[in-house]
Amino acid sequence: MTTVKCPTCSAPVEWGPQSPYRPFCSKRCKLIDLGGWLDGSHRIPGEELPDSQGEFGAPGLPDNDEAER
Ligand SMILES: [Zn+2]
């Protein structure tokens, strides 16, 4: 049995009818190689970064100095 490397993830792929996506190991790797992930339908796990928290400290406190006059 001939084995080739998946061009996308370098996983070994058996070169035969049981590997319909050869030389890719899977449909996902084939789509990635074709640039299918560029349209946003495929996202790379771990790429998202939380940016909505930690930017600011405590919210501004109400200023009551004038109200007590
Ligand atoms: Zn692969």
Proportion of the chain above pLDDT 90, given as a percent: 42
Surface-to-core class of residue 27, CB atoms within 10 Å of its CB (0-12 exposed, 13-18 middle, 19+ buried): exposed
Rounded to whole angstroms, the Cα distance separating 6 from 63 reads: 64
Residue 31 CA to ligand 1 centre (angstroms) = 10
Surface-to-core class of residue 6, CB atoms within 10 Å of its CB (0-12 exposed, 13-18 middle, 19+ buried): buried
Tokens 């501004």 locate to 60
Rounded to whole angstroms, the Cα distance separating 38 from 63 reads: 50
Strand partners, 36: none
- The residue among 2 and 43 whose pLDDT is bigger is 2
Residue 28 CA to ligand 1 centre (angstroms) = 7
Proportion of the chain above pLDDT 70, given as a percent: 55
Residue 27 CA to ligand 1 centre (angstroms) = 8
Residue 5 has pLDDT above 70, yes or no: yes
For ligand 1, an ion, list residues with CB under 5 A.
Answer: 6, 8-9, 11, 25, 29
User: Is the whole-model pTM more than 0.85?
Assistant: no
